[in-house]
């Protein structure tokens, strides 16, 4: 049996080699590739994707997984979990016929191009038919995969394994009951001024400061690098090569700063995964929600915290004296935490952001339940933005056409953004209990104990636990919105002087 398991490990490492090679090509496409390289790059990625699919769906590999699963008692717990996770994935992938895979690829390509044209024309109707076909094939996909209670669960499983729409309904019910009213209270308070963050900040100075922030967080530049890209992202080819990109806007200091910290949080997770388990579930991240918890914890709980800037702000003022000399620490702290409803999800603050996610989640469920026609999506979108954010959507481009996710068939993806913030608040609360004077350490420029805590409690486990199991193991209870709400009230009541 040990020999069979070793064969499984070799196969998974081979698969990882191919998949990470695709990741390298994709990173290069965003960072370095010249425009004329696009066609052949697409061909190269398609070829490698086919090879990866063949490796994982090979019938002999499936037989090996079943054999190991039937005799799992001869394996240790980590090995048992590796086999269980791989077999689950194998069965999911093999739920799709070749005909379905080809058809969905064609529908996705058509939907993407229709979305681009609709964005350019600022007209949802250009996209309507193609999106309808995408929604139909996602409904078909949920039936192929199977589900217990709701078709949404089958699609959600791809991004947040083990999570259900019932659990999300509870969380977003709390968002509606508590966060909406709190946001309205903030909107009625005197607004903070962040205009000095929107003046000219030299590009090279911003770049160097971003590198400084990453080093301060504990990002290992011997196992990663930062580059520029149109859309900031992080990617990993192994725990010893995890990269980030950022975007610099010379008239918006926050654009570079928060993308560096956010993507750095993602990369720290990847650098903390056990390299000895390369290619195996025990060497991979748990879910997108847990991955997002790492970026949100660093970005918001740490990077938008007062303790962090008590240490960093004097250096920042020296770097940009012409911008910040007249702004004291409290003024800066309030400015970087300004809360104001906005049209665009990616530009939202950490409070109103969750209304953007809630709106998309509600619309996705209605579509899968056949309770909302495709032609009526813009009307539903606009009415929900008015209800939750008190914003009038002026046009389709700034409204229903702002995200690419639906064009790619990524139904079930959006909730992971909010899950990340909610997990982050609960994890940070526990870290504050476990690490003596955590805020004091951060105030004195030491983030090492926090990173060590994250390594030991989250990163090192790979997929040995589900997201909820891990949350309960760390904090003693499942995910609870209470921790995010407590964090938000404590922080923003002070900033907006709610009393």
- How sure is the predictor about 1, in pLDDT bands with cuts at 50, 70 and 90? confident
Beta strands in 186-304 (DSSP E): 226-228, 234-238, 241-246
Q: Are residues 88 and 190 in the same domain?
A: no
Residue 111 and residue 189 in one domain: no
The CATH number for 161's domain is: 1.10.1370.30
Query: What is the rounded average pLDDT of the residues 260-283?
Result: 98
Q: What is the pLDDT of residue 480?
A: 97
Strand, coil or helix: what is 249? strand
Q: Is the pLDDT of residue 208 over 80?
A: yes
Using an 8 Å Cβ cutoff, are 269 and 291 in contact?
yes
The model's pTM: 0.96
| Same-domain status, 324 and 467 | yes
pLDDT of residue 42: 86
The count of domains in the chain is: 3
pLDDT digits (tens, 9 = 90+) for 298-353: 999 999 999 999 999 999 999 999 999 999 999 999 999 999 999 999 889 999 99
The C-alpha atoms of residue 458 and residue 471 are separated, in whole angstroms, by 9
| 198 and 330 fall within a common domain | yes
Q: Which domain holds residue 136?
A: 97-146
In this structure, the answer to whether residues 252 and 382 fall within a common structural domain is yes
pLDDT digits (tens, 9 = 90+) for 82-93: 999 999 999 999
Give the model confidence (pLDDT) of 439-492 as tens digits.
Answer: 999 999 999 999 999 999 999 999 999 999 999 999 999 999 999 999 999 999
Predicted local confidence at residue 23, as pLDDT = 95
| Same-domain status, 249 and 394 | yes
| Distance, CA of 118 to CA of 108 (rounded, Å) | 15
328 burial via Cβ count (<10 Å: 0-12, 13-18, 19+): exposed
In the residue annotation, 263 being an active-site residue is answered as yes
Structure tokens at 235: 């990617």
**Which of 77, 94, 111 is the last residue in one of the domains?**
94
Cα dihedral sign for 35, 37, 43, 47?
negative
User: Is the C-alpha dihedral spanning 383, 388, 389, 390 positive or negative?
Assistant: positive
Q: Which two three-digit tokens encode residue 58?
A: 């090979």
Identify the residue whose tokens are 């966060």. Answer: 179
**pLDDT score of 72:** 85
- Residue pLDDT, tens place only, 375-419: 999 999 999 999 999 999 999 999 999 999 999 999 999 999 999
Residue where one domain finishes, among candidates 146, 178, 210? 146
Mean pLDDT calculated for residue range 110-134 = 96
Measured in residues, the chain has a length of 499
CB atoms within 10 A of CB 36: 8
Give the separation between CA 221 and CA 211, rounded to whole angstroms. Answer: 9
Residues 82 and 157 in one domain: no
Which residues on neighbouring strands pair with residue 246, listed in sequence order?
A: 228
Mean pLDDT taken over the chain: 96
Q: Answer yes or no: do 401 and 444 share one domain.
A: yes
Of the residues 157, 160, 263, 270, which is catalytic? 263
Residue 389 makes CB contacts below 8 A (sequence gap 6+) with 341, 342, 352, 355
Where do the DSSP E strands lie in 94-240? 226-228, 234-238
For 227-246, the pLDDT digits (tens) are: 999 889 999 999 999 999 99
pLDDT given for residue 431 in this prediction: 98
Q: Which of 126, 146, 166 is the last residue of a domain?
A: 146
First to last CA, the chain: 65
Residue 245: helix, strand or coil by DSSP? strand
Same domain, 497 and 382: yes
Residues 208, 329, single domain; the answer is yes
Predicted confidence at residue 230, as pLDDT, reads 87
Rounded Cα–Cα distance for residues 360 and 413 (Å)? 10
Which pLDDT score, from 0 to 100, does residue 410 have? Answer: 96
Integer Cα distance of 277 and 478 in angstroms: 27
Asked whether residue 281 falls in the same domain as residue 354, the answer is yes
pLDDT-based confidence at 98, cuts 50/70/90? confident
The CA-atom distances, in angstroms, between 274 and each of 253, 282, 292 are 35, 8, 19
Token pair for residue 122?
């600022």
Helix, strand or coil for residue 237? strand
pLDDT of residue 14 exceeding 90: yes
Give the pLDDT score at 499. 72
User: Nearest to residue 397, comparing CAs of 109, 115, 113?
Assistant: 115
Give the model confidence (pLDDT) of 347-373 as tens digits. 899 999 999 999 999 999 999 999 999
Strand bridging mode 234-238 / 226-228? unpaired
Distance CA 277, CA 460 (A): 10
Are 120 and 191 found together in one domain? no
């Amino acid at each position: 049996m040990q020999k069979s398991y070793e064969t499984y490990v070799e196969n998974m490492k081979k698969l990882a080699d191919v998949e990470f090679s695709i990741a390298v090509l994709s990173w290069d496409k965003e960072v370095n590739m010249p425009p004329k390289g696009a066609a052949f790059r697409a061909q190269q990625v398609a070829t490698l994707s086919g090879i990866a699919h063949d490796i994982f769906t090979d019938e002999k590999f499936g037989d090996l997984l079943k054999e190991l699963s039937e005799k799992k008692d001869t394996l240790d717990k980590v090995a048992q979990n590796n086999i269980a996770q791989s077999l689950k994935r194998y069965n999911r992938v093999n739920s799709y016929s070749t005909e379905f895979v080809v058809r969905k690829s064609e529908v996705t390509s058509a939907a993407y191009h229709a979305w681009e044209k609709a964005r350019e024309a600022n007209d949802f109707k250009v996209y309507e038919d193609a999106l309808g076909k995408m929604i139909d094939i996602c409904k078909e996909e949920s039936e192929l995969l199977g589900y217990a209670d709701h078709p949404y669960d089958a699609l959600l499983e791809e991004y947040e394994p083990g999570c259900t729409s019932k659990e999300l309904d509870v969380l977003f019910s709390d968002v509606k009951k508590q966060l909406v009213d709190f946001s309205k209270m903030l909107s009625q308070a005197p607004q903070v001024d962040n205009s000095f963050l929107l003046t000219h900040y030299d590009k090279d100075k911003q770049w160097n400061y971003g590198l400084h922030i990453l080093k301060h967080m504990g990002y290992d530049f011997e196992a990663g690098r930062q580059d520029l890209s149109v859309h900031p992202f992080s990617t990993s080819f192994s725990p010893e090569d995890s990269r980030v990109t950022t975007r610099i806007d010379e008239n918006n200091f926050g654009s570079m700063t928060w993308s560096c910290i956010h993507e750095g949080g993602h990369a720290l997770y990847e650098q903390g995964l056990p390299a000895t388990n390369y290619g195996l579930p025990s060497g991979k991240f748990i879910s997108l929600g847990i991955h997002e918890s790492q970026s949100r914890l660093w970005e918001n709980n740490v990077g938008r915290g007062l303790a962090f800037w008590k240490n960093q702000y004097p250096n920042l003022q020296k770097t940009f004296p012409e911008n910040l000399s007249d702004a004291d620490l409290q003024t800066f702290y309030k400015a970087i935490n300004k809360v104001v409803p906005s049209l665009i999800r990616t530009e939202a603050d950490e409070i109103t952001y969750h209304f953007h996610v809630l709106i998309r989640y509600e619309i996705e469920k209605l579509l899968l339940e056949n309770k909302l026609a495709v032609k009526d999506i813009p009307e539903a979108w606009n009415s929900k933005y008015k209800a939750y954010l008190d914003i009038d959507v002026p046009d389709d481009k700034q409204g229903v056409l702002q995200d690419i996710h639906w064009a790619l068939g990524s139904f079930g993806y959006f909730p992971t953004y909010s899950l990340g913030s909610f997990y982050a608040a609960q994890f940070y609360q526990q870290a504050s209990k476990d690490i003596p004077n955590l805020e004091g350490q951060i105030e004195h420029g030491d983030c090492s104990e926090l990173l060590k805590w994250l390594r030991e409690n989250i990163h090192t486990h790979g997929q040995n636990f589900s997201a909820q199991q891990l949350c309960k193991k760390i904090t003693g209870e499942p995910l609870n919105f209470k921790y995010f709400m407590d964090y938000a009230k404590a922080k923003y009541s002070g900033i907006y002087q709610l009393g």
